[in-house]
């Protein structure tokens, strides 16, 4: 991870660290983002995602280490780099007394862009046409997010850094943002770095992910590699998980399984014995309410690495005879 800058790495952090008094928000973070990637930066709330992004954009001074974007070390007044970066950090702020158009036009002026056609282009892309003459303060959360994105895109940046871009959006809005980001990546080759805690969302657009937990980068992995690495399993929803475990081990001799607390059993071997497994469970008095063949997704991988999600703390599991584990 991290390492030397190559021609294709456009974002690089080296030993990036931020301590707020006793709180170690980010610790020796080394990550690399390559040109053209959509990099999903994943972590639970408070994992250090926003702090990392703020350091990347020179909004926060690192305690140690540095961030480099497009070969330039990020510091206040890194004007050359900022010309090529579009960003949206957390909930975007606007001048509420100005209209949507005026907010975008102001951004255009500040970026020194002369062509007003670029404003129309981002307005169309972000679907803001009907709101142009409305005061920014009257926009819904979703439209504010769109306006933030429009502002970040107006100068056709090479790199887009987005912090939780789908925050506050309804499902339709989420799909729209996803479509825009995919389009930007495909059509314009923009490198996108986005942080999120909505894993299913990231899984649909990212090419590579970095997982941060308690300020430390646990892993960087391409989603294609993750798919290859993940195992297929047979999942049963059962009435009595403990008894199901007994059936699997003692009656069928299967030890490669995991029992979830909520009555879900995942069997990782013998996937061709679905009928036999089902029959054995039923005969032993275990009611099977559902069964399906599935595979680990990004969420499972994330949970394994970080030990649980915010909403759903890691369920206790029993794996084979090795006992219960988190």
Partner 1 sequence: MTRALKAEFLKLKGSRTLLWAAIVVIAYAILATVLNAVLLKDPAITARITSAGGSFRQAVDSGFYQVDWPNQLRVAVQGISGTWGILLFSFVATYVFGREYKDGTAKNMLTLPVRREYFIAAKMVVVATWIFCLMLLSLGLHAIGLVIVGVPGFAWRHVWGALWDGITVTFAIYLTLPLVAWITMTGRGYLRGMLFALAAVMVGNGLAATSLSRYYPWNLPVHLVGASWMPIVSVHPVLGSWIVSACVFLAGLVLATRQTDAADDVS
Nearer to partner 1, 77 or 289 (CB): 77
What is the closest distance, in whole angstroms, from the C-beta atom of residue 160 to partner 1 in the complex? 12
DSSP-assigned letter for residue 239: S
Q: How far is the CB of 152 from partner 1 (least distance, A)?
A: 9
Q: Which is nearer to partner 1, 6 or 97 (CB)?
A: 97
Q: How far is the CB of 89 from partner 1 (least distance, A)?
A: 5
In whole angstroms, what is the distance from residue 105 CA to residue 136 CA? 13
Which of residues 61 and 251 has its CB atom nearest to partner 1 in the complex?
61
Strands 232-238 and 264-267: antiparallel
In 10 A of CB 307, how many CB atoms?
Answer: 12
Residue number with CB closer to partner 1 (88 or 259): 88
What is the distance between the alpha carbons of residues 189 and 182, in angstroms, rounded to a whole number? 10
* Interface residue list for partner 1 (CB under 8 A): 54, 57-61, 76-77, 79-80, 82-83, 85, 87, 89-98, 102, 106-107, 109-112, 135, 151
Q: How far is the CB of 39 from partner 1 (least distance, A)?
A: 18
Find the shortest distance in angstroms from Cβ 93 to partner 1. 3
Provide the token pair at 326: 């988190």
Nearer to partner 1, 60 or 280 (CB): 60
Residues 6+ apart with CB under 8 A from 192: 37, 38, 39, 159, 160, 162, 181, 184, 185
CA distances from 86 to 180, 190, 203, 295 (A): 14, 10, 22, 36
């Amino acid at each position: 991870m991290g390492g030397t800058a190559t021609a294709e790495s456009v974002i690089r952090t080296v030993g990036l660290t931020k301590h707020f008094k006793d709180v170690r928000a980010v610790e020796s973070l080394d990550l690399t983002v390559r040109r053209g990637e959509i990099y999903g930066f994943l972590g639970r709330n408070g994992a250090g995602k926003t702090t990392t992004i703020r350091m990347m954009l020179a909004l926060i001074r690192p305690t140690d280490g540095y961030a480099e974007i497009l070969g330039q070390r990020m510091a206040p007044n890194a004007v050359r780099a900022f010309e090529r970066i579009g960003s949206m950090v957390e909930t975007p702020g606007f001048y509420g007394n100005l209209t949507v158009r005026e907010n975008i036009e102001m951004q255009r002026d500040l970026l020194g862009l002369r062509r007003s056609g670029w404003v129309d282009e981002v307005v169309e892309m972000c679907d803001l046409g009907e709101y142009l003459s409305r005061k920014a303060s009257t926009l819904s959360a979703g439209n504010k997010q769109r306006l933030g994105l429009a502002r970040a895109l107006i100068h056709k940046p090479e790199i887009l850094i987005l912090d939780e871009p789908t925050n506050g959006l309804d499902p339709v809005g989420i799909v729209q943002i996803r479509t825009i980001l995919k389009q930007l990546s495909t059509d314009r080759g923009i490198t996108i770095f986005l942080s999120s805690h909505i894993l299913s969302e990231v899984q649909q657009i990212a090419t590579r992910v970095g997982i941060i937990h308690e300020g430390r980068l646990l892993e960087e992995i391409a989603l294609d590699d993750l798919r290859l690495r993940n195992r297929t399993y047979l999942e049963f929803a059962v009435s009595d998980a403990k008894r199901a475990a007994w059936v699997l081990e003692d009656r069928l001799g299967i030890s490669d399984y995991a029992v979830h607390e909520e009555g879900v059993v995942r069997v990782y071997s013998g996937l061709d014995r679905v009928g036999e497994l089902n029959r054995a469970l039923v005969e032993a008095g275990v009611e099977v309410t559902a069964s399906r063949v599935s595979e680990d997704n990004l969420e499972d991988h994330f949970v394994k690495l970080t030990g649980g999600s915010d909403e759903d703390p890691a369920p206790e599991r029993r794996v084979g005879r090795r006992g219960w584990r988190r």
